[in-house]
Amino acid sequence: MTEPHPHREHTPERSLERLSADRKVRAVAQAGSYGTDFAWVGSQPTFVVFERDILSPRSETRAGITVERYPYPKLEEWRDWDAARAEAPLATLATSRVAYDPTGHYGRIQRMLWTLSGSQLAAHREELLSTAGSRLDAARRAYTGPGHGVQEQLLALADAREIALTLLYPALLTRLHLWPEFEIRLPHAWRASAGLTFPKAVYRLEALYAFGGETEARRVLLATRGLGLLEQERRARTAFQAGYYDGAVRYLRDETARTHRADLHAWTHLTSARREKLGTLLGVSRAPLGPAALELAGELLDAVRDGS
């Protein structure tokens, strides 16, 4: 009897076969650039799955293959725009490639997202801008004013970047009826899609991250050692070797803020060596901090609103 090849079980093709054959799975799509004309050496296979018997979204990565799972009832609910915009991963649904869809619901969700009217997109943009404005106000109250020190300046920078990336950048793309794809090549993508049309907005988005090309990317990669960022460092190094220097920096800055937020809160109690590494990763000697970061995010919000 022939032994199964040890790596065959974890190929994207085998994963797709297995997911599509699972009785609990009611739809499967592939997301990201893997398997497309835009694929590169750092593309990761990602599947979007709607499945019975799960109650909330969850994500798992195994052998380099990511599966994003969603409860089956959402496959019907998200055909409605008001329900989808409140909770669905809109960009993922709009840009993925359907592989298995016996009910046809996934295709209907996509057609709905692809054919939104100008007024629907404008209302969605205003909703994103309103949420961003509220979060910026909350960050100003929390991190600026008398008695605030270095840790508040760093937390303000981290929040300004998250607001810019998750709310303001998607809001900007509504003007082009495009959906963001948050791959590690993200700065490359936002320049290609919006750089010429909305230079003010993209300039401010870039300024928040304080890019510095190959030199800065090399510094940031070296600073990951000893901080438990092995997987992130591996992915960023792949981007670096492919020439996506700013993509590697953007990714590591955001991942550092996400995984080491407790360190930002406890900044004054860290060793000087740890502060130096985290500071390099976050770009504290290059980026605007505290009120300046929030002011820049506010300017980005205005540029998105004005379409400039």
Cα–Cα separations (whole angstroms), residue 199 to 191, 194, 196, 270, 290: 9, 7, 6, 39, 24
CATH architecture for residues 8-114? 2-Layer Sandwich (3.30)
Percent of the chain with pLDDT over 70: 97
Q: Which one has a higher pLDDT value, 6 or 17?
A: 17
Q: What tokens does 166 get?
A: 């998750």
Give 35-42's long-range contacts (Cβ < 8 A, gap of 24+): 35/97, 36/97, 40/185, 40/242, 41/238, 41/241, 41/242, 42/183, 42/184, 42/185, 42/235, 42/238, 42/239, 42/242, 42/244
Query: Domain residue spans in the chain?
Result: 8-114, 118-306
pLDDT category at 9 given cuts 50, 70, 90 is low
Residue 129 near residue 171 (C-beta atoms within 8 A):
yes
Q: What tokens does 247 get?
A: 């993509």
Query: For the ranges 16-25, 73-82, 100-109, which has the lowest average pLDDT?
Result: 16-25
pLDDT tens column, 174-191 = 999 999 987 899 999 999
Q: Taking every pair of C-alpha atoms in the chain, what is the biggest distance, in angstroms?
A: 75
E strands, 1-57, where?
25-31, 46-51
Task: Give the predicted TM-score (pTM) of the model.
Answer: 0.92
Query: For the ranges 9-23, 98-112, 278-292, which has the lowest average pLDDT?
Result: 9-23
**Torsion angle of the four alpha carbons 232, 238, 242, 243, in this order, in degrees rounded to the nearest 10:** 30
Query: What's the chain's Rg over C-alpha atoms?
Result: 21
pLDDT for residue 4:
45
Q: What number of residues does the chain have?
A: 308
pLDDT value at 271 more than 90:
yes
Pairing label, strands 65-71, 58-62: antiparallel
- Helix residue spans in the chain (DSSP H): 12-21, 73-77, 81-87, 90-95, 105-114, 118-143, 150-163, 169-173, 186-190, 199-209, 213-222, 230-241, 245-259, 261-265, 272-282, 290-306
Residue 248 near residue 236 (C-beta atoms within 8 A):
yes
pLDDT for residue 218:
98
pLDDT value at 7 more than 80:
no
